[in-house]
Structure 1
């Protein structure tokens, strides 16, 4: 998808790690860089687009969160708030009351699409996570010459995306760090490893495969993993955790230090946002993660002050340490070198990482 020399896609990592500098560096190396539009206002998203365009003439993508229907569960969120209070007190954080939470938050979804389409030079590519765009959204972007990609986590989601006429699928396996892009926030995600999920999705969309770009995502952190996914039929691969320690990444210091230190396994938890997400295991996820209700974005807003305080205090035990299943192997290097290494070159940047 798009005119690139390397089959490497930098995952959009909302909340800090994705920066204009990171997207531009990956694009400049021949891959596809992404601006993470999640949690940004339309104005800040346009600022990021302008900043990236100021750094590279290469095309890059923009990722948007599709809003979820309000899950309600006020009583469950209130009970979870009580469980969080001792942890919040530990770092001096004040949690909002249940009635103060923006239960109808849509992450400025419609305004962002309108803003992107109003640009004199529209974006080359817009991808969607947490659900599917509407038919009108796809048509509006297509009219401006923008390609669209849907994140999918099983065959049913893939078929629904194809029915919309999107140009590409990002098939996200359970190994992926951060949020799983399931379309139903209440559902438990598919647990088949990416090496099983990808062929199943490819088979489900075989009748339109010729017009569809398929990206494999989830736990891809070495050249060997890249070769495996390309061999299974993916057109390109998406890596996120592999870029967390890149020079150009905006990963906060507490998160980066935990990734660099290693020694932690990962788990999938709703503890921090109410949506299933893979993170480094820490005290909050282990102690009360099972009590977190499936209420996104309410839980995200509830825990935001706690997470911000933990990051500022350098406390990794209360922070959402998003990371993929293979997070013990993360190179610290310029993003362009990481991109070329994943594609099979510059292996010297990660001599301690086994290529498997």
Structure 2
């Protein structure tokens, strides 16, 4: 049985879950167009998650992928937090903000019992994870109601680990992909491969379906991934300017400007490597370093700076997540984007 048949979709197009720039609307539009939409839940409270899932169930009978992070929250590190505040203090002064009044808050929630309780009431057919898999007990609950489990791998080792530990399909996330790296067995960035180097190696190493992700923005990229053995592709950046996305005006302008040609991995916005368009913060502090606290504790101090700069019309302190190929970004309906991604791709039998 093909992956598209198992997922209940017409087309081998998965929309990448993108926390902070989308909600139910984009997921619904992609699924209604024949792909697999996604709802990112890492930044949602249980109550909001239930509301969004309810909206999806009311709007479409199509399947939607419900996505979670499964990181282990770090222990507080006062010394590292102090270094972080010291590095950001000049920017706080510039905007007349008080670094001593930075609110607490992690900004990202791992998949836990509370989230699983909400999810089980809806019993979604597809659930995906970033940063590995949740604890065995939680994973068993998800699989007990028949959900197909997807998770991201950034190396062959991660892909084989996922297969051995219960994933039903692997998302091979190349280095080109925007947003957070799904890496979880190592934090060594030198292990990270480009999509079309990683993909055939993962296909050869596992017996479960493989989904290609990273740098795919047009039908030619879709065709190339399928030719290299992918069962489907996952696309994120190309959907960021679609009508149904909640991407900010500042972020949209950056995506459709020359600035989008220069992206880098940075840990400044969350504490974990993620790809985004270069910003003033990344240039001046260096995109990757040990100044930011561990994921996701960096987000609290960035929030006030981002708000102040965006109020002045600047994205200098905003996480402008984007992959290395933003050429597919257009202000069009998501359904049209799905059809564009399938242009010249022969329909495959299920």
1:257-276 residue pairs with structure 2 within 5 A? Answer: 257-264=253-260, 265-276=262-273
SS in 2 for 1:279: strand
Corresponding position of 1:222: 218
Mapped partners of 1:105, 1:37: distance in 2: 9
Correspondence for 1:42 among 33, 42, 46: 46
Equivalent pair of 2:43/2:109 in contact (CA under 8 Å) = no
Equivalent pair of 2:217/2:341 in contact (CA under 8 Å) = yes
Deviation per residue, 1:221-248 (Å, 9 max, x gap)? 1111111111111110011100010010
Deviation per residue, 1:2-55 (Å, 9 max, x gap)? 11111111100001x222111111001100000010111111111111112222
Equivalent pair of 2:26/2:334 in contact (CA under 8 Å) = yes
1:80-95 residue pairs with structure 2 within 5 A? Answer: 80-95=84-99
In the superposition, the TM-score normalised over structure 1's length comes to 0.88
Deviation at 1:127, TM superposition (A): 0.3
Mapped partners of 1:88, 1:228: distance in 2: 46
Correspondence for 1:113 among 116, 125, 132: 116
2:184 matches 1:183: yes
Equivalent pair of 1:127/1:150 in contact (CA under 8 Å) = yes
1:1-356 residue pairs with structure 2 within 5 A? Answer: 1=3, 2-15=7-20, 17-70=21-74, 72-95=76-99, 101-102=104-105, 106-107=109-110, 109-117=112-120, 119=121, 121-184=122-185, 186-188=187-189, 190-205=191-206, 209=207, 212-264=208-260, 265-289=262-286, 290-291=288-289, 292-293=291-292, 295-344=294-343
Deviation at 1:186, TM superposition (A): 4.2
Q: Residue 125 and residue 276 in structure 1: after superposition, are their counterparts in 2 closer, same or farther (change >3 A)?
A: same
Deviation at 1:106, TM superposition (A): 4.4
Corresponding position of 2:348: none
Equivalent pair of 1:219/1:326 in contact (CA under 8 Å) = yes
Mapped partners of 2:229, 2:255: distance in 1: 30
Q: Residue 330 and residue 83 in structure 1: after superposition, are their counterparts in 2 closer, same or farther (change >3 A)?
A: same
- The total of aligned residue pairs comes to 337
SS in 1 for 2:259: coil
In the superposition, the TM-score normalised over structure 2's length comes to 0.89
Unaligned stretches of 5+ in structure 2? Answer: 346-350
Q: Residue 23 and residue 93 in structure 1: after superposition, are their counterparts in 2 closer, same or farther (change >3 A)?
A: farther
Unaligned stretches of 5+ in structure 1? Answer: 347-356
CA RMSD of aligned residues (A): 2.2
SS in 2 for 1:316: coil
Equivalent pair of 1:172/1:194 in contact (CA under 8 Å) = yes
Mapped partners of 2:197, 2:95: distance in 1: 42
Mapped partners of 2:9, 2:314: distance in 1: 40
Equivalent pair of 1:18/1:34 in contact (CA under 8 Å) = no
Mapped partners of 2:163, 2:37: distance in 1: 23
Deviation at 1:311, TM superposition (A): 3.0
Equivalent pair of 2:68/2:111 in contact (CA under 8 Å) = no
Deviation at 1:92, TM superposition (A): 4.4
Deviation at 1:275, TM superposition (A): 0.5
